[in-house]
Amino acid sequence: MGILDVKNVNKNFGGLKALSNVNLSVRENTVHAIIGPNGAGKSTLLNCLVGKLIPDTGSVMFDGKSVLGRSPYEINQMGISRVFQTPEIFGDLTVMENMMIPIFARRDGAFRMHAYESVANESGIIERAEQVLEDMNMADKRHMHAAAMSRGDKRRLEIGMCLSQEPRLLLLDEPTAGMARADTNNTIDLLKQIKEERDITIAIIEHDMHVVFSLADRITVLAQGTPLVEDDPQNIKGNPKVREAYLGESA
């Protein structure tokens, strides 16, 4: 029993079988990577975990409770935070405000009508946001408009926003896609640091093998909507089935 259990999940789009009989178990306090060639169903699987898609059959249990049929905000309130492929942040707001919003969401729930209080008086929230910014090495950017930052900094901010909620499970959707080498390495270092310092479970979807093998404790390989293998990283590298899925029969 892991913290996240996916059982017999199927998802079809018209005639296309995007996911067929996917079983997956993510154990607590590990980094679990889901890899696979293009079109393997990685993103579809992720969308089934966060409430964007509902599988046709099967079950997705988080911490013993089903996430199916819940909307994204409810699933987040259960303790799952998601990082997107392209950083999704509040571009019109300052970095500090970006950091405060998830902390408000964790403290006040999905909706609270606090229209007469002043943000400036929320010292608890401000302190916490400043501390997370400090942890992310972004304290000097707190007054910047989030949209004005570099791609790497946006990614860092988005991860910080997710971490500020102290989620039990952090989902990362190709966190280094489209990044320069230096930014990729920074992100790897950041994630390694998070893994060491916190009690957190991370599920990561990734294309870049360098990222996967530097982080993962456990790897699931998806191909054509079905899990091919689930194993430790050292066994995945030499597995002939994986090589075939990635490189074709000639390899």
Interface positions with other proteins (CB under 8 A)? 50, 71-73, 76-77, 81-82, 84, 88-93, 97, 100-102, 104-106, 108-122, 140-141, 143-145, 147-148, 161, 165
Query: Could you tell me the smallest distance in angstroms from the CB atom of residue 97 to other proteins?
Result: 6
Query: Could you tell me the smallest distance in angstroms from the CB atom of residue 118 to other proteins?
Result: 5
Cβ proximity to other proteins, 71 vs 235, nearer residue: 71
Beginning with the edge strand found earlier in the chain, give each strand of the sheet holding 31-35 in spatial order: 80-83, 169-173, 201-205, 31-35, 218-223, 226-231
The residue written with tokens 């007054």 in the block is 143
For Cα atoms 46, 48, 52, give the angle at the middle one, nearest 5 degrees.
Answer: 100
Which amino acid is located at 2 in the chain?
Answer: G
Query: Could you tell me the smallest distance in angstroms from the CB atom of residue 49 to other proteins?
Result: 12
Cβ proximity to other proteins, 108 vs 232, nearer residue: 108
Query: Could you tell me the smallest distance in angstroms from the CB atom of residue 120 to other proteins?
Result: 7
Rounded Cα distance between 100 and 170, Å, is 18
Cβ proximity to other proteins, 139 vs 229, nearer residue: 139
Tokens read off for 11: 């998802």
Which amino acid is located at 171 in the chain?
Answer: L
Cβ proximity to other proteins, 116 vs 182, nearer residue: 116
